[in-house]
Amino acid sequence: MICPDAIDAAILADYWLSLLTASEEENVELHLFECDLCASRLREVIALADGIRNLARSGSLRMILSEAFLDQVAADDVRIRKYSVPAGGAVECTVTAGDDLLVARLMANCTNAARVDLSLCDERGIEQVRMPDIPLQPGASHLIYHESITFAKAMPSNKMIARLIAFDEAGSETLISEYAFNHTRSMPGPAAW
Amino acid sequence: MEIELNDSELAQQIASGSSQEVEAELFSRMAPRIRLYGLRHLWDSHAADDLTQQVIITTLEALRSGRLKEHDKLASFVLGTCRMTALDLRRNAHRQERLLQQFGVSLLTPAEPHTPSLDHDRLTRCVQHLKERERTAVVMTFYNEQTGAEVAGFLGVSEANLRVIRHRAIHQLRQCMGVSL
């Protein structure tokens, strides 16, 4: 089966999300009533959308989120464990079997940075993961870091250091602030990785 | 029996008094398309099933009675009927019962189109491999259908830029998942 006017999957995603104009939507819908190939592609997009939604609910992603998004998730009866850490501060933290999501509100002033990276380090300060060019809401006094709950539930007691690193236009690095997470394991499991 | 007619020819056959087999073929072709429309506009699988039944009934009725004369416009007719019926479904839940009594339910069991299965672990890896802004954009967009303006505002980009970011991420995810999910 071949469709000479196949609709791009990203356009189908926009259709599914109601992000097309009325005339674009009409064209897509008429095509979908004539083309099973594109309808099948739309089903793939729907499956992808459902998969991403389930993934977000499962808390297994490591990412930066907005405050508004967190409010929406909380309204869906998702149990969120939250920590707020001041710039240069430390927090005693844990995660329990009943937690669905784990977030840390990192207080920081990133207004003058062209780009900001979040560096996750072990207790010796050696970088383990870097999240380059993280999204930052303009003018915000903090960012919300969402840690994978799957990872956190498996993690033994340890210390993790998070660093926010700014890049200027010339590309030179500056430490904005550092945050220490003293994690105590409260679920059964191994004492070390 | 396999029926090798296009949609227009199928409509022509029904209009000229065909067998129930031909009508069943029309149902098997159109029902998944109507159901998709229903899922998109009614956001409920039961409502989408109701829409499917009612639109099929209306379409068969129009073909049998000769009201739909231009058979090559079948898709347009079905789409227009979907729109009106979706509006009607929101307003009047009783109509479905009356139509079902009139036509019976034997032909009208909603079709279950093939739903692609998803490898959760692979999707996790694919989403995690996206760039930070792309990951945030797709998760925030798909989780609760947040508007483009909300997500763009958070990312500090225009809605047009957000669209580029989202499209790139969707293409990357499809490629990472092996295109066909």
- One DSSP character per residue, A26-84 reads HHHHHHHTT-HHHHHHHHHHHHHHHHHHHHHHHT---EEE-HHHHHHHHHTT--EEEEE
Pick from A45, A65, A138: CB nearest B136: A65
Measured CA distances, B27 to A14, B55, B108, B113, B148 (Å): 28, 10, 8, 12, 36
- pLDDT averaged over every residue in chain B: 85
Looking at residue B3, its pLDDT comes to: 66
Task: Express as a percent the part of chain A with pLDDT over 90.
Answer: 72
pTM value > 0.95: no
Q: A9-23, B18-32, B83-97: lowest mean pLDDT where?
A: B83-97
Query: In whole angstroms, what separates CA A100 from the centre of its chain?
Result: 14
pLDDT-wise least confident of A58-62, A107-111, A160-164, B17-21: B17-21
pLDDT band (50, 70, 90) for residue B101: low
- Give yes or no for residue B76 having a pLDDT over 90: yes
Average pLDDT, chain A: 92
The partner residues of A102 in beta bridges, in order of sequence, read A81, A147
Which residue of chain A has the CA closest to B121? A55
Contacts of B173 in chain A (CB under 8 A): 48
A43–B116 C-beta distance less than 8 A: yes
pLDDT 10s digits, A96-128: 999 999 999 999 988 778 899 999 999 999 999
Distance CA B37, CA B21 (A): 25
DSSP for A74-141, written as a single string? HHTT--EEEEEE-TT-EEEE---TT--EEEEEEE---TT-SEEEEEEE-TT--EEEEE-S----TT-S
What the block records as the tokens of A141 is: 């006094």
CB atoms within 10 A of CB B25: 21
Among A15, A38, A52, A80, the strongest candidate for a mutation testing the B interface, having the largest count of B CBs within 10 A, is: A52
Question: Residue B2's pLDDT is what?
Answer: 63
Q: A125-129, B74-78, B176-180 — which is least confidently predicted?
A: B176-180
Write out residues 4-23 of A within 8 Å (CB-CB) of B: 8-10, 13-19
Q: What burial letters (b/e) apply to A160-169, b meaning 16+ CB within 10 Å?
A: bbbbbbbbee
The pLDDT, as a whole number, for residue B134 is 95
At A89 the pLDDT is 97
pLDDT at A92 over 70: yes
CA–CA separation, A143 and A109 (whole Å): 9
pLDDT over 50 at A180, yes or no: yes
Distance between start and end Cα atoms, chain B: 30
Q: What is the pLDDT of residue B58?
A: 94
**b/e per residue, B40-55, with b = 16+ CB within 10 A?**
bbbeeeebbbbbbbbb
% of residues, chain A, pLDDT over 70:
98
* Cα–Cα dist B77/B88, whole Å: 16
| Between A77 and A175, residue with greater pLDDT | A175
B122 Cβ under 8 Å from any chain A Cβ:
no
Which residues from B are below 8 Å from A14, CB to CB? 163, 166
Least confident of A67-81, B6-20, B75-89: B6-20
Distance CA A113, CA B45 (A): 47
Q: Which of A22-26, B14-18, B95-99, B173-177 has the lowest mean pLDDT?
A: B95-99
Judged against a pLDDT cut of 50, whether residue B181 lies above it is answered with no
> Residues 52-111, chain A: which have Cβ within 8 Å of B?
52-57, 60-66, 68-69, 72-73
B147–chain A nearest CA distance, Å: 8
Contact in structure between B151 and B141 (CB atoms under 8 Å): yes
Mean pLDDT of B3-32: 86
B180 and A44 in contact by Cβ < 8 A?
Answer: yes
The stretch B74-88 carries a mean pLDDT of 93
- Long-range contacts, stretch B57-61, CB < 8 angstroms, 24+ apart: B57/B99, B57/B103, B57/B108, B58/B85, B59/B26, B59/B30, B60/B14, B60/B23, B60/B26
In three-state secondary structure terms, A145 is strand
**pLDDT mean over B119-140:** 94
> What pLDDT shows up at residue A76?
87
Say what the pLDDT of residue A22 is: 95
Q: Say how far apart CA A100 and CA A79 lie, in whole Å.
A: 5
Does the pLDDT value for residue B7 go beyond 90?
A: no
Phi, psi of B79 (to 5 degrees): -65, -45
Picking from A157, A154, A149, A158, the residue whose alpha carbon sits closest to that of residue A126 is A158
Average pLDDT over residues A143-157: 93
Per-residue model confidence as pLDDT tens digits over B149-172: 889 999 989 999 999 999 999 999
For B72, which DSSP code? G
Looking at residue A191, what is its pLDDT?
66
